[in-house]
Amino acid sequence: MQNDGQMFNINGEYFIQINQLYKEFNHNIEQLSTSVVNFWKDFERESINVEKLQIEGIAIAKNIQSTFRVFSDLDNIKLFKDYQMYFQFAIVQLHILNDQIAYELYVNKMKSILETNKMFEKNFSSERDSDYSNFIISDANGQKFGQILQMNNSLKHLLGWTEEDYTKYRIESFMPTLIKEKHSAFLERYDKTGQSFIINNKTCMFVKKSNGYVIPIELFIKFHYSIEYQYVYLAILKPFYEMAPFSNGVRYNTDQLLFVITDGDDGRIFEYSESCKSILKFNKQYTNDGIIKIVDELIENFSFKIFTQTRSHRYITAEIYEEIHYLDLTYLSDVTEQDIDKGLQNLNNTLFDKFTKAKTRVFEERYSGGVLDLNIFCFLLLHENDDNTLSRNFNIEQTIMNTAVQNLQKDLSHKNQTQSSHIESAHDSSSITGSSFSQKSSTTSMLDYRNFHSFSAQKTPRSLKIIIQLIFILYLVMIVISSVNLGINITRQKQSEYDVHVIKDANDRMNLVSINLLISRVLLNIANGYEPEISSLMEDRFKNYKEIQREKIQLLREAQSSLQQSSFVNSDELSYELNENSMKLYYLNEQNLRYDKQENINIAFNLYIARVADMNSMTKEQMKGNQDIQTLYPSTDPTYKPNIYEQTLFFTIENGNKGF
């Protein structure tokens, strides 16, 4: 991986081994939990089968041994340890092995890993994600070439894939259409020449998500020989959260920019960026459906033919295409959820006309020496007065300067005329004086000359020099003071903006907890038959509400991460509350007993987010149950034992109502 001319050595075997260890670790925990539950169920029956209990006890011992072995392998990894495995192992210690001391030990280890990762990201990385956050491993052997072997959960979530998708998909599944169609030609050229621009290099590309839209990412691909899979390709993907696409160097969030990918022949549009959903109100799922759209119809007074004809000139002169255009948004009305004819209102409550001004930059891409040419159109929507502000201010300043120059010229002209009249008057006066006093002695004449000469040759007085120096020093002091005040004001403004963002994140976090609680209530009602599954607005309310909840969980996770990593200066009282175990959480154990425990606020929120995410992954059958949060007729059987899903649902609902 290249970074500032340096090469980083990424161990491909690490990705393969770590993914397998995590899968095995999770599987062992599930097996251990199931074995322990079955053991105690059989143990509490009236007639005890000793042989069966002995077999189950041996199975539990083997599961414990296997879990400890895998955890030891994970713990010995020196590179990028995941704090979640320590939390999972701590839960095993507490709820399965009933070891409170070991639970506290591994929870503290989890906190230490969190702090270490935070320090590493703050000191050595300016990017949001780690190098190892999104990776995929594909087969590079013969007939299986391109088959996906492994993909971590972070990348699955980024692409919107399910657990089953990546087992049946290939690497072409997340390629943009144009690149996917030419991928075989790229491979043929690589087989013949052995040259590839993307292998062992960082490249900026687009990947297609499951909803049909594309997002910009930074891609790094490495060829690797694996002990298990032989030849494989290791790919690491980093999504772009902000970029500076225009010549002025201003950075924008990628959700503020619209990207459209066209071919290099006739300007046919093949892909839209995911930001079109939020800005242009595109449908949640984008499908082409055979509809051909060209960029000429989208951009007013734009000819793609002329654009391609001037391409060679831009290439020779190293120019970029960057202009202000009007976009006809009504051309996209068949793929939007909003009536564009009446204007378009985006998520920021900003109303854009159907003919909207946009700052446009075109990236002209060529792959594999001309195998594929495509164009990436980048748009930044503007209001009518956005691009006129600078020119208007410049015109005002220019008018002021011209007026000042004219006034100065008039003053100089008037001054010259006055001086000329004074000289003429002095000349006439000297003539009269000369005729009147021509009979003065030569001594008096010499004295007058000497005095005039000494006056004309007189130097600047010392006091005047001191005054000028003091004025200059005072001027410098004023500039320094003004600069310091400006710096202080800028710092205060930035701090105020940062404080406002932190407060907004804290407020959003609480609002998102309430929203998730409300959605959880609706999902439980649907699953238990208290609300209909189909309505006039939604065909599948359960699926749609789960999708909404998944988006809210992601927003909650981002808000919590931002707050946890912020450097906001808290008061002593608030710092004490944040550092102490001041948050009460409510639990339901496998014996159907409710209890509470004090936790640190950040740990409590992370636990809550994890449990809500677990709930979101449940099926409709798993949400059914006999608790009072699920049914109007809860079980009154004293021997009733809630399952793991009911315990998760209790934690989510009860803490959403009380704890937070």
* Listed residue (336, 329, 331) closest to 352, CA to CA: 329
* Listed residue (65, 61, 67, 66) closest to 35, CA to CA: 61
Categorize the per-residue pLDDT at 321 as very low, low, confident or very high, splitting at 50, 70 and 90.
very high
Q: By percentage, how much of the chain surpasses pLDDT 90?
A: 13
Please report the pLDDT score of residue 272 as a whole number. 92
- Work out the number of other CB atoms within 10 angstroms of the CB of residue 473: 10
Distance of alpha carbon 264 from alpha carbon 232, whole angstroms? 32
Which range (201-205, 398-402, 551-555) has the least confidence? 398-402
Question: Average per-residue pLDDT in the chain?
Answer: 77
Helix (H) or strand (E) holding 107: helix 100-124
Whole-prediction pTM: 0.46
Strands 148-151 and 135-139: antiparallel
Please report the pLDDT score of residue 386 as a whole number. 56
* Residues pairing with 147 in the sheet: 170
Query: Would the pLDDT of 116 be above 70?
Result: no
* Listed residue (296, 291, 251, 244) closest to 270, CA to CA: 291
Instruction: Catalogue all structural domains in the chain, each as residue range(s) with its CATH number.
Output: 241-394 (3.30.450.20), 493-659 (no CATH)
Categorize the per-residue pLDDT at 497 as very low, low, confident or very high, splitting at 50, 70 and 90.
confident
Please report the pLDDT score of residue 92 as a whole number. 86
CA atoms within 13 A on the CB side of 439: 1
Q: What is the Cα Rg of the chain in Å?
A: 37
First-to-final CA distance of the chain: 43
Which range (201-205, 282-286, 305-309, 425-429) has the least confidence? 425-429
Give the per-residue SS3 of 255-299: HHCEEEEEECCCCEEEEEECHHHHHCCECCCCCCCCCCCEHHHHE
Please report the pLDDT score of residue 105 as a whole number. 83
* Residues pairing with 218 in the sheet: 204, 238
Query: Would the pLDDT of 407 be above 60?
Result: no
pLDDT tens profile 256-270 = 999 999 998 889 999
Beta strands in 289-387 (DSSP E): 321-328, 344-345, 351-352, 355-367, 372-382
Considering only residues 608 and 458, tell me which one the structure prediction assigns the higher pLDDT: 608
Please report the pLDDT score of residue 467 as a whole number. 87
* Listed residue (311, 307, 371) closest to 178, CA to CA: 371
Considering only residues 281 and 3, tell me which one the structure prediction assigns the higher pLDDT: 281
Contacts of 456 (CB under 8 A, 6+ apart): none
Considering only residues 505 and 214, tell me which one the structure prediction assigns the higher pLDDT: 214
